């Protein structure tokens, strides 16, 4: 269930915590953020410490309205303006030339800053009441699954977060689309709810992936978004047979599929997340969290379709497979049907 409004008391407690340099978790339409006052470097450092996140991974600054951009951004290209007008508030993060006053801890010392104006009503209540920028990565330990419910944030961090605003389930469930607008080029750095075709409809040409001439590639440590249980991506046609053969060795096997199993097995925990990309994405992290806790030796995920509705899901699953398994995550490349 989505809960959209916080009480005035809850918002005041969260704003006080931010002003005191404490951390506040809050819902956005994508995933929960772990927020700190973006103008307080010591507070932002706490986010990195709590997440165990390397300083080289900069964080997104969330703001309430485009009129506050000047505080953070040196210049807005015509393309950036068009994208902001088309998709803000919403699940789009723009990487832009940073303004002088932005602290290095926020940007990882780069000359750019990532900015987002979220649309979630509770995030907007918080940003409006706080008035400043909130630096917030996803509210999970570094490399792990993002949190899409307040309980997930609690599981990740316990009481280390001063205030957790509970907005129920996030509407989209996958992190924002990240686009850089630098040096006259528009680049899609991380796929999300806003699709490549939608970006191209607004600005025309969009490059895919980071420009490798620029040293730091965002969000693209290959291993990321991972459960602790080894995860492999398996073609739909091989899924049932592989789950069966692996579980015959006495192991419990988890499956995340887009359909029901052909036959049920006691030792296989099978989740049918359906054939609709939006619903599959909405539930992805919650499903992986559940399966991760189910005491299984492996998680097998059915390969998803190739069309752009699945781009963000395919990206996250590929990274989850790298992060959670010793192999590349592709069962079929191993040939034998028995995973290491
Ligand atoms: O949906 C989202 O984007 C969520 C919610 C909370 O807003 N946030 C989120 O933050 O996913 P995080 O930190 O998990 O992912 C942000 C990504 C990181 O991979 C980071 O490297 C990249 O954005 N990033 C941040 N600043 C950047 C910059 N100046 N240049 C390039 N990439 C940047
Ligand atoms: Mg993250």
**pLDDT for position 328:** 40
Shortest-distance ligand to the CA of residue 145: 2
Q: How far is the centre of ligand 2, averaged over its atoms, from the C-alpha of 243 (Å)? A: 30
Q: How far is the centre of ligand 2, averaged over its atoms, from the C-alpha of 145 (Å)? A: 8
The pLDDT-based confidence of 47 (bands split at 50, 70, 90) is very high
Cβ(44)–Cβ(38) below 8 Å? yes
Q: How far is the centre of ligand 1, averaged over its atoms, from the C-alpha of 180 (Å)? A: 11
Q: How far is the centre of ligand 2, averaged over its atoms, from the C-alpha of 91 (Å)? A: 14
Residue of 109, 137, 192 with the most ligand 1 atoms within 8 Å of its CB, for mutation: 137
The strand pair at 112-116 and 92-97 is best described as: antiparallel
Mean model confidence pLDDT for the chain: 92
Cβ(2)–Cβ(169) below 8 Å? yes
Shortest-distance ligand to the CA of residue 32: 1
CATH classification of 231-324 is 3.40.50.2000, yes or no? no
Residues of the chain with CATH 3.90.870.10: 8-208
**pLDDT for position 220:** 53
Residue range 8-208 forms a domain whose CATH class is: alpha beta
Q: Which atom of ligand 1 is nearest to the CA of 136?
A: 6
Using a 10 angstrom Cβ sphere, with 0-12 exposed, 13-18 middle and 19 or more buried, the burial of residue 68 is: middle
Q: Which atom of ligand 1 is nearest to the CA of 57?
A: 21
pLDDT tens digits, 264-320: 999 999 999 999 999 999 999 999 999 999 999 999 999 999 999 999 999 999 999
Separation between Cα atoms, residue 286 and residue 61, nearest integer Å:
25
Residues of the chain with CATH 3.40.50.11030: 231-324
Give bridge partners of residue 98 from the DSSP assignment: 73
For residue 224, give the nearest of 311, 321, 116 by alpha carbon: 321
Q: How far is the centre of ligand 2, averaged over its atoms, from the C-alpha of 137 (Å)? A: 6
Q: Which atom of ligand 1 is nearest to the CA of 118?
A: 7
pLDDT at 22 over 90: yes
pLDDT at 37 over 90: yes
Separation between Cα atoms, residue 32 and residue 27, nearest integer Å:
4
pLDDT at 217 over 50: no
Cβ(147)–Cβ(158) below 8 Å? no
**pLDDT for position 340:** 28
Q: How far is the centre of ligand 1, averaged over its atoms, from the C-alpha of 302 (Å)? A: 27
For residue 284, give the nearest of 225, 196, 223, 325 by alpha carbon: 225
For residue 30, give the nearest of 104, 139, 103 by alpha carbon: 139
Cβ(37)–Cβ(135) below 8 Å? yes
Shortest-distance ligand to the CA of residue 156: 2
What's the mean pLDDT in 58-70?
97
Residue of 51, 90, 106, 138 with the most ligand 1 atoms within 8 Å of its CB, for mutation: 138
pLDDT tens digits, 157-192: 998 998 999 999 999 999 999 999 999 999 999 999
pLDDT at 335 over 90: no
Cα–Cα distances in angstroms (integers) from residue 126 to residues 6, 63, 87, 92, in the given order? 9, 10, 20, 19
3-state percent helix, strand, coil for the chain, nearest multiple of 5: 35, 20, 45
| 56, 174, 72, 48 alpha-carbon torsion, rounded to 10° | -40
pLDDT at 211 over 90: no
The protein residue whose alpha carbon is closest to atom 15 in ligand 1 is 137
Residue of 60, 63, 109 with the most ligand 1 atoms within 8 Å of its CB, for mutation: 60
Residue ranges around ligand 1 (CB below 6 Å) = 28, 30-31, 33, 57-60, 93, 95, 107, 110, 112-114, 116, 136-138, 175-176, 178, 218-219
Shortest-distance ligand to the CA of residue 62: 1
The pLDDT-based confidence of 224 (bands split at 50, 70, 90) is confident
% pLDDT > 90, the chain: 87
The protein residue whose alpha carbon is closest to atom 17 in ligand 1 is 219
CA atoms within a 13 Å half-sphere pointing along the CA-CB vector of 151: 7
**pLDDT for position 249:** 82
**pLDDT for position 213:** 56
């Amino acid at each position: 269930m989505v809960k959209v409004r916080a009480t005035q008391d809850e918002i005041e407690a969260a704003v006080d915590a931010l002003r005191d340099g404490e951390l506040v978790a809050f819902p956005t339409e994508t995933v929960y953020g772990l927020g700190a006052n973006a103008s307080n470097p010591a507070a932002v450092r706490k986010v990195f410490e709590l997440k165990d996140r390397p300083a080289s991974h900069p964080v997104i600054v969330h703001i309430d309205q485009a009129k506050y951009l000047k505080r953070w951004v040196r210049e807005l290209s015509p393309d950036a303006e068009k994208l902001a007008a088309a998709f803000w508030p919403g699940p789009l993060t723009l990487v832009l030339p940073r303004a002088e006053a932005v602290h290095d801890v926020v940007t990882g010392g780069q000359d750019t800053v990532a900015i987002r104006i979220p649309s979630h009503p509770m995030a907007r209540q918080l940003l409006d009441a706080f008035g400043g920028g909130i630096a917030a990565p996803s509210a999970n330990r570094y490399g792990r699954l993002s949190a899409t419910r307040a309980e997930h944030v609690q599981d990740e961090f316990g009481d280390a977060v001063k205030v957790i605003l509970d907005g129920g389930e996030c509407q989209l469930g996958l992190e924002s689309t990240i686009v850089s607008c630098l040096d006259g080029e528009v680049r899609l750095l991380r796929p999300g709810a806003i699709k490549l075709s939608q970006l191209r409809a607004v600005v025309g040409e969009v490059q895919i992936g980071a420009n490798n001439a620029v040293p730091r590639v965002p969000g693209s440590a290959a291993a990321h978004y991972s459960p602790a249980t080894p995860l492999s991506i398996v073609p739909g046609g091989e899924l049932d047979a592989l789950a069966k053969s692996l579980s015959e060795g006495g192991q419990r096997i988890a499956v995340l599929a887009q359909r029901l199993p052909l036959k049920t097995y006691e030792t296989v925990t099978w989740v049918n997340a359906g054939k609709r990309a939006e619903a599959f994405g909405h539930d992805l992290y919650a499903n992986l969290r559940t399966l991760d806790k189910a005491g299984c030796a492996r998680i097998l995920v059915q390969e998803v379709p190739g069309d752009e509705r699945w781009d963000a899901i395919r990206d996250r699953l590929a990274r989850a497979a790298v992060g959670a398994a010793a192999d590349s995550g592709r069962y079929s490349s191993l040939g034998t049907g028995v995973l290491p």
